[in-house]
Structure 1
Amino acid sequence: MYLKNILTILAIIAVLLFSGCRSKRMAIPEAPVPSPRGTVPENVEDVVVLPSAPAQVNEPETPPVEVIEELVEEVDPIPLREERFTFAQETDKAIHDTHLYFVILGSFRSPDNANRFMDALIEQGFQPVILISESGLHRVSIDSFTDEEVARIRVQRIRSNYPEYKDAWMLIRKN
């Protein structure tokens, strides 16, 4: 419903903006036919043309970033998976144990492959953590959050800023 309201408001603004942008060629009246010198045309009226001001619509300001991200999310939904897991290292558990939402960039059966991928992510400036699922997969997470919406936004930013991670997804910790 919120998205429909925003789209309706944007459509109204677009109509108002473009309705005042007609071509100047359309606004120029036909040139009057000159009358012979010394004669006055029969139907002379005083016409005053005033420039028109564009219509102003006072609408509540909405941050455009939120709208864009909601639209992107609808076009390309974020895959979610809920599962139980353990942290590969106790130090990671101490930092991320209270978080429920994890941004995942890779899953590996082999711990060696997960560690190599983690090393590559560290070189790119990420701080990855390896999570071991109940099924034995080693999930490489680059962020964790307590708020789902913030986690979704992070996944979208990773997808848009790093095309090589366009398949990033979100893992929800199952209790």
Structure 2
Amino acid sequence: MLDDPLAGSVLPPASRWLAMSARHRAVREWLIRYWETASPGSWGGVACRKRYIDQQTARALDDGIGCVVVLGAGLDTLAHRLVTPAGASVFEVDIAVNTARKRRRLRVGDRVTFVPVDLDRGDLRAALVARGHRVAQRCLFVWEGVTQYLTEDGFGRTFDFLAGAAPGSRLVFTYLRHAS
């Protein structure tokens, strides 16, 4: 299980209520059973990927990588839970409406640099550089739970950007196979 004290700050009211209710063992077990019935393997899959990405982020920071870029950050709080306390620079990339909403809900000041850009249509490199990202700096790129929402062109352009990352940079991402 992931203990995320910031989750309640970013979740919409109904989801916040559900997350708070899940602190009670009986409610949590019922939610897991319900979720697993609706989509077998999904609860464990999300829990495993969250833990793995948190571990890879901690490892990268321990190895001296001083920059993290979270692509399609959405409601994720990794940047706020792990990266800013470690003193690394962090950029959260997402569409403008999501970055604005998250900035309001978390009231994070300047600890996190929000980069409003649509990965399907925008210029990721230009948007990051305009917000102070140094392309020559080793960086960890986290791309979790996003690829399935992108067009093939947006997916490809994001990978093209990642291919130009500084030597020693790292990427951790999730994907879903396209059903044939």
Q: Same fold (TM over 0.5)?
A: no
Q: Which has the larger radius of gyration?
A: 1
Normalised to the residue count of structure 1, the TM-score between the two structures is: 0.22
Normalised to the residue count of structure 2, the TM-score between the two structures is: 0.22
Flag the structure with higher helix content.
Answer: 2
Flag the structure with higher strand content.
Answer: 1
